[in-house]
Structure 1
Amino acid sequence: MGGAIACVFRVLFQILTTFLLLASLLTAVGGIMMKASTHVLQSIVAMAINGYISDAGDIRQMAAFLIEVVDSVATCSITVGFVLTVLCLIGLIASCSGWNKVLKIYAGILFVLLVVQIIAVAVVFANPTNFTDKIANSTKALLKSYGDTSEEGNRSTVIWDLLMETAPICCGMDGYEDFVELGKDLPIPCCDITIGDCNATAAASAGVKGCRSKVEVIATIKYAIFLNVCIAVLFMQALLVVLVTNLICAAKKEEKGDVGSESL
């Protein structure tokens, strides 16, 4: 009976570990491909935003900004994917070879990683308001370089123009006053026009609202996506810990049963 239970847990563990191994490997490979295909990604991004931005220079600036984000994601994907691939491979080999001592070490490592990740997720996602505020503050900080001729200013201008001009039209983070306080020229979305000049008087008359609500919606969507992905990963790892623990316990019972039968 103990042997049958151990066999069931071993098969379940191997199936789940194989699935995680493939997923981790694909994550790492995907990160490598993103790193190696920068020019292709830049072309794809440029095509995707071509309908929103007409100026070729602005398209390049936005594409370069998004590529930097993709590059960071690629680095994270390679690191996480590689580490998880190695861990899954060790667990799979240990379970197939019947190395119970290695499985115990493996279970301990998985448990420690799980606890650390749970604490990290709890700290990062404990307060959705703080998460949203951080994104809103970082977005508002870009306004300081809006309209500048520097590379950072060009990117800030492109990002904010895209944010303000995409329906529903909005102006600054909390209204046209943001630009007035920074001593910058008002962009035309603040006056709800497509051509011409925009000034404080016209902006006050137009009454265009700020982009804070739009930024908060984007932040909320990001929060939900990141949190759900983290929960899914934690659930899979927790299930893996449960299976390997039960596998070790069942293997112990099987060994005791074998010893008992030999003594008889």
Structure 2
Amino acid sequence: MYCSSRLLRYILCVISVICAVGGCLLIWYGAWLLESLEDQQRVGVLDHGEQLAAVLCILLGCVIILTSIFGCVALGRDSRTMLICHAVLLVVLLVVQFVFFSISFAASRDTLPDTLRQGFDDLWDPQHAGNSSLNTYEQWLHCCGRNSAEDYIHLDKELPVSCCLDLDCTKPLNLFMTGCELQFKDYLSAKTANFHSLSWFLMLTEFAGSVTTCYLVDSIRNHRDRVRFYN
């Protein structure tokens, strides 16, 4: 039983280190997300909740690191109470991350910002002469119309300069052919791909850590009961 307890301690120590590294990566992702918002602000695109997501990622990363440190302290003190608290914290973090993952996954597949939806509505409105919100997205994402540049042609509307590279429509090759709906979804998918991979990695690691902690607590209890019995 002693060898089993020692092995479990080694495993839990490694898991704690891995969780701490994952927490650091989550903090880095949140910082990168905040930095990437500067490009949106330059062209006047509104924040789509990315700033809040970035802050939550940084906070979650900090909590994961603190939980890992707490687990190492619990191992060093060989405290059953602290180890049980550590297992509970890991389960709570797992649930929170699963909720974040579900929201992020759903948003990357189906969600469009209200400003972009309004731009699409204005595009199909024959009475609407301008389309500033859609033009902003076209310039930012290098796209044109909702489905493609043909949207303007079918609606007998003049192609805006935002549909062309460097706002220069004199050259046919400068025209953006991809629609903004698909381009925005690709943008979200690309931004959330790293978060989704990191979330799965952390959730599996935290699950393994909580299970290992429970086995270690049971092993410590059995060892102490055996010592008291023989003494």
TM-score higher than 0.5 = yes
User: Is the 2:27–2:61 contact (alpha carbons within 8 Å) kept by the matching residues of 1?
Assistant: yes
Q: Which residue of 1 aligns with 2:83?
A: 103
> Following the alignment from structure 1 to structure 2, what is the Cα–Cα distance between the partners of residues 218 and 78?
21
Q: CA deviation at 1:30?
A: 7.8
**What is the CA deviation profile of residues 135-171 of structure 1, one whole-angstrom value per residue up to 9, with x for unaligned ones?**
47764445669764xxxx5xx644422423xxxxx52
2:146 is the counterpart of 1:173 = yes
> Following the alignment from structure 1 to structure 2, what is the Cα–Cα distance between the partners of residues 122 and 77?
14
Q: Which residue of 2 aligns with 1:234?
A: 203
Amino acid at match of 2:181: R
User: Is the 1:107–1:245 contact (alpha carbons within 8 Å) kept by the matching residues of 2?
Assistant: yes
> Following the alignment from structure 2 to structure 1, what is the Cα–Cα distance between the partners of residues 71 and 103?
29
Cα distance change on mapping 1:112 and 1:217 into 2, 3 Å: closer
Q: Which residue of 2 aligns with 1:133?
A: 110
Cα distance change on mapping 1:215 and 1:159 into 2, 3 Å: closer
Unaligned residue ranges in structure 2 (runs of 5+)? 124-129
SS in 2 for 1:171: coil
Matches within 5 A, 1:1-264: 2-25=1-24, 27-28=26-27, 61-62=42-43, 72=52, 74-119=54-99, 121-122=101-102, 125=105, 131-135=108-112, 139-141=116-118, 148=132, 157-164=135-142, 170-175=143-148, 186-188=159-161, 194-195=168-169, 210-222=179-191, 224-262=193-231
User: Is the 1:136–1:215 contact (alpha carbons within 8 Å) kept by the matching residues of 2?
Assistant: no
SS in 1 for 2:111: helix
**What is the CA deviation profile of residues 202-247 of structure 1, one whole-angstrom value per residue up to 9, with x for unaligned ones?**
xxxx9x5634343343344445443322211211111111111111
Unaligned residue ranges in structure 1 (runs of 5+)? 47-58, 165-169, 197-205
> Following the alignment from structure 2 to structure 1, what is the Cα–Cα distance between the partners of residues 227 and 190?
55
Q: CA deviation at 1:258?
A: 1.1
Cα distance change on mapping 1:105 and 1:195 into 2, 3 Å: closer
TM-score normalised by L of structure 2: 0.68
User: Is the 2:48–2:113 contact (alpha carbons within 8 Å) kept by the matching residues of 1?
Assistant: no
User: Is the 1:25–1:81 contact (alpha carbons within 8 Å) kept by the matching residues of 2?
Assistant: yes
Cα distance change on mapping 1:82 and 1:142 into 2, 3 Å: farther
Identical columns (%): 18
Cα distance change on mapping 1:5 and 1:177 into 2, 3 Å: same
User: Is the 2:104–2:192 contact (alpha carbons within 8 Å) kept by the matching residues of 1?
Assistant: no
Q: CA deviation at 1:73?
A: 5.3
Cα distance change on mapping 1:70 and 1:225 into 2, 3 Å: same
